[in-house]
Structure 1
């Protein structure tokens, strides 16, 4: 399994839901909070061309915004 990076920010309810979802299914992830880390914000905008949170990176796949179905597919989670 590829490493999972979740770009978040303070006061972002969808970010909290994504983190709870990943924990519930036992997927370890690295959180990068753009509210408190300028380097993470720069990575998000310049490397991934994203300006919203949550943005989830799984290998080469970039999931921008709250898209639980796409996340399930990327993680191969069956309903």
Structure 2
């Protein structure tokens, strides 16, 4: 599985849900909080053309916003 990066920010309930979801299904991820470092915010906007959190990067796939169905599809999770 490709590395998973989750861009988050403080006081973002959807970000918390995504992190809990990934943990529940046993996926490790790297969290990058855009409130903690301006370089991370710049990386999110310039590299991924995203201005919202959560933004999840899995290999070449970028999921902007809270989209559990797309995340399940990319991670091949069947319920």
Q: What TM-score, normalized to structure 2?
A: 0.99
Q: Post-superposition shift, 1:37?
A: 1.1
Work out the number of aligned pairs and report it. Answer: 79
| Runs of 4+ that moved beyond 4 A | none
Deviations 1:5-41 (A, max 9, x none): 0000000000000000000000000000001111110
Between the aligned partners of 1:11 and 1:64, the Cα distance in structure 2 is: 17
Q: Which runs of 5+ in 1 are unaligned?
A: none
Between the aligned partners of 2:2 and 2:37, the Cα distance in structure 1 is: 23
**What SS does the aligned partner of 2:39 have?**
helix
Q: What TM-score, normalized to structure 1?
A: 0.99
**1:1-79 equivalences in 2 (<5 Å):** 1-79=1-79
Name the Cα RMSD after superposition. Answer: 0.4
